[in-house]
Amino acid sequence: MSGPGTPRPGDTVEDFALPDESGTTRTLSGLLAEGPVVLFFYPAALTPACTAQACHFRDLAAEFAAVGARPVGISGDPVERQREFTGRHALGMPLLSDTDGAVRERFGVRRALALAPTRRATFVIGRDRSVLEVVRSELRMRTHADRALAALRARRA
The residues assigned a catalytic role are 50
104 three-state secondary structure: helix
Amino acid at 14: E
Cα 151-37-26 angle, rounded to 5 deg: 170
CB 57 within 8 A of CB 144: yes
The alpha helices in the chain, defined as continuous H runs, are 28-31, 48-59, 61-66, 79-89, 102-106, 142-156
Measured CA to CA, the distance from residue 120 to residue 130 in angstroms comes to 20
At residue 86, the 3 state secondary structure works out as helix
In total, the chain counts a number of residues equal to: 157
| Secondary structure of residue 142 in the 3-state scheme | helix
